[in-house]
Structure 1
Amino acid sequence: MSADQPTILATSGGYKPGVRTALEFNALVHHAVELSGVSARAPRITHLGTASGDQRWFNNDISEAARVAGFELKHLNLFPMPNLGDAAELEAHLLAQDVVWVNGGSVANLLAVWRVHGLDHIFRRVWQAGVVLAGVSAGSICWFDGGTTDSFGPELRAVTNGLGLLPYGNGVHYDSEPGRRLLVHRLVADGTLGVTHCTDDGVGLVYRGTELIDVVTEVPGKSAYIVSTAAGEGPDAVASEQRLAARLLH
């Protein structure tokens, strides 16, 4: 089962503490499954933890969350080498999934490793085939032109070599990490990033093709934002921010 058109769910959330497990999937992950349209069988999800080095302990936590949710989940590990075969086998596997979920960490490292293995091209074809691409933090930024990141150290910086499936910048953890909002505004004002779509923690952005069609949240009261250039040029340029109300998922 595939979505009826290319679909991305870009988030700053997706997890919650588990009852008898370390974590469970929150409403955003379940919404990614809903967007795929799968029914009458267990949803097939592949998790990528590239951005954190494919930590096996976290893979185990994700596997337990999938078991609780009733999902059929596999991990695509790239460290120390791909565990699901060569590039052709990886693509065939991903095309058979309902959802790809990408975890957070270093988006700069993620993008470099993905390109080594040809996943930048593979993911474009998987997206076009209707497999829902989704993720949190680095797993959100990767689908865009770029965004803000701490991949290079504790000081937030721009990353501008995202996969570009979505022709915007992306700002994650917009309400919870000091400096994110200010940096997005500065990067948009000086032209480093184009129009940038941002999410508070717990919020997700739904795209059909490259059109933003829905804003959803698993946390009441949270929002998304569109930041664009408002006026001025060069050092006098300023950015404006439009708040988008988010629909609460149940």
Structure 2
Amino acid sequence: MTADAPTVLATSGGIRSGRHTYFEFSELTQFAVELAGVTGRTPRICTISTALGDNPHVLHSLAEAARVAGYEHSHLQLFPMPNVPDIAGQLLSQDVIWVMGGSVANLLAVWRVHGVDTVMREAWQAGVVLTGVSAGSLCWHVGGTTDSYGPDLRPVTNGLGLLPYGNGVHYDGEAQRRPLLQRLVADGTVPESYCSDDGVGLLYRGTAFVEAVAEIDGASAYHVAREGNSAVETVIEARRLH
């Protein structure tokens, strides 16, 4: 069973240091799996770490995190070549697709070379829950702020656009994020945007924003809209996951 509508949980979290493993999935990822509505079998999750160049340590650590969580795990690897003969078949057979952070600019370029952008839209429309952290949040949107090009943040505007909004990740965690995102909305570089503090996820059903959820006390989400030549920020209270 998959979600009953196209579903994205775009987050600045969902993973943390593990007690006995390098990573473990945290409440936001657990919520994404719940959204898939799996009953009577083990949930299937595919992790993707294109944004970190398919680093072998990350691939192994995500597989360990999935094992500890009790998920049926697979991964899509694109370096040095795809690790599966049928990318569409691999992704469309999942309950959840979980995308690791890193360079969103490189992720988008490599995905387009291999047609993953098209398959992601098919998976989304089929009810496979799309989630992930940082670059794995930005990618579903039109664009937002990124450190893909260096330590001084710059805009990215060629996201997959499944969601017709901008996205601000790590909104409270990195000093450049909030002012740059607001400038980009104010000058029209990115459309109205939804933003997440560290530990917050943004839930969309279809292209509609539904709610913000948090795995950290006191963390919030934000809506940033253009009014004239300015950006207006509205705080969205996040429902605490337990």
Does the alignment pair 1:226 with 2:223? yes
Structure 2 counterpart of 1:45 = 45
Structure 2 counterpart of 1:71 = 71
- For residues 104-159 of structure 1, the C-alpha deviation after alignment (integer angstroms, 9 at most, x for no partner) is 00000000000000111111111000000111000000000001001011110000
**Map of 1:194-205 to 2, 5 A cutoff?**
194-205=191-202
Cα deviation for residue 230 of structure 1 reads: 2.2
Distance, in Å, in 1 between the alignment partners of 2:146 and 2:119 is: 24
Structure 1 counterpart of 2:241 = 249
Structure 1 counterpart of 2:156 = 159
- Secondary structure at the residue paired with 1:123? helix
Which of 102, 106, 109 matches 1:105? 102
Which of 205, 209, 212 matches 1:212? 209
Structure 2 counterpart of 1:61 = 61
Cα deviation for residue 93 of structure 1 reads: 1.5
Matched residue count: 242
Which of 95, 98, 102 matches 2:92? 95
Cα deviation for residue 42 of structure 1 reads: 1.1
Does the alignment pair 1:36 with 2:33? no
- For residues 204-225 of structure 1, the C-alpha deviation after alignment (integer angstroms, 9 at most, x for no partner) is 0011000011210000100000
Structure 2 counterpart of 1:234 = none
- For residues 75-125 of structure 1, the C-alpha deviation after alignment (integer angstroms, 9 at most, x for no partner) is 10000000011xxx1111111100000000000000000000011111111
Cα deviation for residue 40 of structure 1 reads: 1.8
Q: Which moved more, 1:20-29 or 1:167-176?
A: 20-29
Distance, in Å, in 1 between the alignment partners of 2:109 and 2:43 is: 29
Identify unmatched segments of 5+ residues in structure 1: 232-236
Cα deviation for residue 18 of structure 1 reads: 1.2
Report the AA paired with residue 153 of structure 1.
Answer: G
Distance, in Å, in 2 between the alignment partners of 1:226 and 1:73 is: 34
Distance, in Å, in 1 between the alignment partners of 2:88 and 2:43 is: 18
Distance, in Å, in 1 between the alignment partners of 2:40 and 2:150 is: 45
Cα deviation for residue 238 of structure 1 reads: 1.2
Distance, in Å, in 2 between the alignment partners of 1:246 and 1:129 is: 27
Identify unmatched segments of 5+ residues in structure 2: none
Report the AA paired with residue 125 of structure 1.
Answer: E
- For residues 140-192 of structure 1, the C-alpha deviation after alignment (integer angstroms, 9 at most, x for no partner) is 00000001001011110000000000000000000010110000110001110
TM-score, normalized by length of structure 1?
0.96
Q: Which moved more, 1:89-98 or 1:240-249?
A: 89-98
